Amino acid sequence: MKRRTLLASAAMGLMLASGAFAQGMDKVKACFVYVGPIGDGGWTYQHHQGALAVQEAYGDKVEIQYQENVPEGADAERVLTQMALGGCNIIFTTSFGYMDATNAVAAKFPDVKFEHATGFKREHPNVSTYNARFYEGRAVQGTIAGRMTKSNKIGYIASFPIPEVIMGINSYYLHARKVNPDVQLSVVWAFTWFDPAKEADAAKALIDQGVDVIASHTDSTAPLAEAAKTNGAVIGFGQASDMAEYKDGPRVSSIIDNWAPYYVKRVGQLLDGTYEQIDAWEGIAGGEVLIGEITDKVPADVKAEAEALREAIAAGTYHPFTGPINKQDGSPWLAEGQTAPDGDLLGMSFYVEGITGDIPK
């Protein structure tokens, strides 16, 4: 049987079962596509914890399937097609670079539900998107960084120049500068989500520049491992997961991506027949962005300040992007008291005033 015919037959079979979604389902096969290994200690690890939470919540009503280390691009489309043909009812694609592949495969399988993490394209009614407001956690980290740096040089290891990463850099810097006007930010672009060797090299480059506080937007513990070699001279943050194994070393806090509530909710909605297409973007208030324990290496007054900021964000009384804020070239972006619209953040392609260097194209 030719592949095209096979796809058509599978899609027809799924269409015949389409009423099951409206009426609820007795059992759901929930599938997950991961950009890295589940043992990365960061991004993929946290997504997999969410998948395991689904299994725990629903027991034998749910079958879980996942595939690790799926490159962003043509390989992703192949994996998604295989999952759809294999009977997956809902497929979570957990990295920004899966966006086009997700929508392409969704067009061929209209009765499979596709959920894309951190993306913005919903070209078909069976595609939903979900994200977390990581920039809220960066505000808390920036406050700690600005207060604790001794060199007035802080660093950020960036993955790819997409809005999610750029808004994190800006939030981190703005809040460091807010408490320490002399702070300078260095950004090193690793151009990877998960490559411990490249991440370690990026951390080394920052340390060689005199940076003594490092945040990262990559997936492994390598930056903290590199900071640990400085015998306390450099501190850093857990990224995506708590990275608690470094609590006795350089890790002073963390951003924890808590995907479990979202995954449990969405699979539950397939089971009970209430599932609808959505675009979700939760943060600290919704419990998707957690601030990991702030350790005793952080002075009590700084810890209190960071925790107060977290609570203000959670309560909705403070937005990390509140004007006046200018763009890097000095042109106005947000006026006094104005907060950034979500659309501006989701399309962010510029640094704020005070950050030097260019964003890679």
Angle at 260 between CA 258 and CA 262, to 5 degrees: 100
User: What number of CA atoms fall less than 13 Å from residue 303's CA on the CB side?
Assistant: 11
Nearest to 88, CA basis, from 28, 37, 142: 28
Q: Looking at the domain covering 3-132+259-282, what would its CATH class be? A: alpha beta
- How much is the pLDDT for 266? 98
Record: fold of 134-249+290-346:
Rossmann fold (3.40.50)
C-alpha Rg value of the chain to the nearest Å: 21
Contact 102, 68 (CB under 8 A): no
Which residues face 128 on adjacent strands?
115
Q: Strand, helix or coil at 306?
A: helix
Omega into 324 within 30° of 0, i.e. cis?
A: yes
Tokens in use for 140? 């808390």
Which residues face 148 on adjacent strands?
none
- How much is the pLDDT for 15? 37
Tokens in use for 35? 């950009």
CA separation for the pair 136, 258 (Å, rounded):
14
- How much is the pLDDT for 22? 54
- Mean pLDDT of residues grouped by 10 in the chain (361 residues)? 34 38 84 95 94 98 98 94 98 96 98 95 97 97 98 98 96 98 98 96 98 96 97 96 96 97 97 97 96 97 98 98 98 98 95 97 88
Q: Strand, helix or coil at 127?
A: strand
Nearest to 263, CA basis, from 96, 31, 20, 22: 31
Tokens in use for 121? 């394209």
Range(s) of the chain covered by CATH 3.40.50.2300: 3-132+259-282, 134-249+290-346
